[in-house]
Structure formats: structure tokens, C-alpha cells
Structure 1
Amino acid sequence: MMGWSIEVGVSDLAQPDPPGAADVIDRRCGSSPCQQDADTKAFTGRGGAPAEVRRAQARVASIHHQQEDLSRLTRRVRGRTFYLAVHRRKDTGQVHLRWRAAGSGAHAGHIAWGAIHAHFAQIPGVLRAWYERIHRHAVELNRRELEARLALRHARERNS
């Protein structure tokens, strides 16, 4: 296809991971002293979630945010025929990225990565390589999301 262009650079994918929850708290405090986060009702059973659960929740939320960012990045490609969509499973809470054919009609919907390779003959080499890097990153985020949700479930079980 003619007219392929990309609004974002490949370097956009190389951005470091978002900061952890501790980094965000430190930045909000600035140079002034901050009160440390603590469970104010730790021994009554009415306090906030234990630190381990909060850290696990923050990790899951961070990965979900990265998945949404990657999905938005693939939607910014002009003339795209496919993009990453965030898919949420209500029964398990799983959030994962799936390739989806752009547009509407009979060919719209989720598409397997293997089927996308057929489209590569029409895509310039630089864009094809970019999609391959995006796909590897999506697979990695999906794997990390599964691990993070499992860690969160274990943390909740230990602290219940």
C-alpha cells in the first residue's frame, strides 16, 4: 500500500518503564519532608491494605497503564490496517493486548499475529520492523500482567 507513514518514532518504544509507586510518592513530596505512608489502624483490622498488597496493586496498575499507552501508540500510525487493542476479561480481571484489524466490516475484529505477516509484503521494511518490536513488547507486557496479577492474588491470600 502506498502512503504509509508513522507519526511516532521507534525511539518512543524505548522509553523507560514508568516509575514505581515509591518514586511517585517521592516526587509529590518534593524537597519538603513527607509523612511516611502507614496503616493508621494496623492492629484493628480496619486499616488499609498491607504494604505488600499495595505494592502488588501498584505494579498491576502500572502494567495496565503501559498496555494502554502501547495501544494508543499503535492507533497513531497513519494508514494502519491493524492495531493493538486492550482486551479485558471480566471473569478473571485479565487485561491483555490483542491485535485487531482496523476499520469496520467483515475483516474487522481480532486478528492473530501470524495472520498479520501476510500484510507485511505491502508494508515498508522500517514500519514492518517497528510492528515486530511493538509485538514483542506487547507479548512481554501480557506476560508481566499475568505474573503481576498472580503476585497480587497471592499477596491478598497471605494477608486475609
Structure 2
Amino acid sequence: MSELAQPEPPGAADVVDPRCGSRPCQQDADTKAFTGRGGAPADVRQAQVRVASIHRQQEELSRLTRRVRGRTFYLAVHRRKDTGQVHLRWRAAGAGVRAGHIPWGAIHAQFAQLPGALREWYERIHRHAIELNRREIEARLAQRHACERNP
């Protein structure tokens, strides 16, 4: 057989590198590269999902407090642009001088005038809002750490 009439060129598995001895070399590559199943991107995605879930819960709690008939205050979602923090704050209903964010202590003083069941409901809502605000801070912190670990 002549040199030009070789049956097939050698395949990649037949290539021998002097560094590997007599066995074929295998490239140092991750076989699962770019599949989206790596550990690092999953951490970031999970953190983002958790933060988004808490934000949805905060929005829903805000909508719930706006549905109360004759309300004098409700929970408003407040977003801080500089930190990205989203948290619930009590706000006076209506317009005018009294409208705006008000501290819980000022609202709590008005509870003496509310029927017992409604007063208890507002107290439960307030505790839930505090818990969601705390969880949002923790989730954003975890998201930031996941992003820093996986640039």
C-alpha cells in the first residue's frame, strides 16, 4: 500500500502524547461543563428564588392589609434603591398631612378603639411583617454571598 492510500486517518483516541507515555491523552476538561447543573450557579439561583419568594409574600401581605374596610393604616412595600432592601412599613391610609409612614407604636395606640378580633388580626399581621422583613434581609445577604463566591 502506498503512503497516500492509508485506510483512515488516526482518531483522537489513537493520538499519543509524549507526556502521557504510551497511553492516549485525555483532555483536562469538565465533562459537565455548561450544562447548568454545576454547584456554583445553583447556589446563586436558589438564593435568587428565595429572595423573590419573600418579596412575593411581602406584596401579598401588603395587598391583604389594603382590603380591610374602613382601614386607617396598612402595610406598604418600601424599596431602598441603594441597598436593594425590600421591607414592609406601616402607612396611614388616605391623603393629607396624616398620610405617610408611621411607626408601629403610633398605630398600636389606636388599637384600644378597635374590636378585639380586628386588633388581634393586626397584631398577627404585624408579627408576620416583622418576620418577613427579617427573612428578606437574611435571604439578600445569602444571595450576595453566593454571588461573591461565584463571580
Equivalent in 120, 125, 137 of residue 116 of structure 2: 125
Taking the TM superposition and a 5 Å limit, the aligned residue runs for 1:1-160 are 41=34, 50-160=41-151
Could you tell me how far 1:42 is from its partner in structure 2? Answer: 5.5
Task: Give unmatched runs, 5+ long, in structure 2.
Answer: 1-31
1: CA distance, partners of 2:116 / 2:48: 39
Q: Which has the higher contact order (CA 8 A, sep 6+)?
A: 1
Could you tell me how far 1:118 is from its partner in structure 2? Answer: 1.6
2: CA distance, partners of 1:62 / 1:117: 29
Could you tell me how far 1:121 is from its partner in structure 2? Answer: 1.7
Instruction: Tell me the amino acid that sits aligned with residue 54 of structure 2.
Output: I
How much is the aligned-residue C-alpha RMSD, in angstroms?
A: 1.8
TM-score by length of 1: 0.70
2: CA distance, partners of 1:74 / 1:59: 23
Could you tell me how far 1:41 is from its partner in structure 2? Answer: 2.4
Task: Give unmatched runs, 5+ long, in structure 1.
Answer: 1-38
1: CA distance, partners of 2:55 / 2:100: 21
What is the aligned length?
118
Percent identity reads 81
1:77-104 per-position Cα deviation (integer Å, ceiling 9, x unaligned): 0000000000000000000000000000
Q: What residue is the counterpart of 1:29 in the other structure?
A: none
TM-score by length of 2: 0.75
